[in-house]
Amino acid sequence: MIKYLFPFLFILTIVNAENINTQDEELADEYPIENIDETRIDPSVDCLILQDENSIICKFETNRSTSDQDIVVQWIDPQGDVSRSRNMIVPAGHASIYDYRYINGRLLGSWTFKVLENDKEYTTDFELK
């Protein structure tokens, strides 16, 4: 019985594999990358403080694009100094990036999370107590 089962499963696998084609031009025409997301949003930034995990998580949301987008992320401490600045890439087809820091070791007070995209600036403020 097993000697018949193995060839049957093998042939079944081969037959179904012929129907799988990830390079099919019909799929590319049906789902072009230009139509990734037709809804437009206003880019925004937001931060979430998770005391129990000792973390600050900040998110930048923008519109999906067909090319990579270069952005600069800055953490500005309560004294007005840039605590950290990072160049980041929002990959083509994606619409958000995240950055995080630990709460321990941060100055207490009002912090600013700033994202620079092209000539535009997006900011949000949060308070560490």
**Could you report the per-residue pLDDT of 88-107, keeping only the tens digit for each?**
999 988 989 999 999 999 99
Tell me 41's DSSP state.
Answer: -
The alpha carbons of the chain give a radius of gyration, in whole angstroms, of 24
User: Over the stretch 61-78, which tens digit does the pLDDT of each residue have?
Assistant: 999 888 999 999 999 999
Tell me: pLDDT of 39 over 70: yes
Dihedral pair phi/psi, residue 14, rounded to 5°: -65, -45
Architecture (CATH level 2) of domain 39-128: Sandwich (2.60)
Check residue 104 and give left, alpha or beta (phi > 0: left; psi -120 to 50: alpha): beta
The H or E element containing residue 107 is none
Give me the residue spans of the domains in the chain: 2-33, 39-128
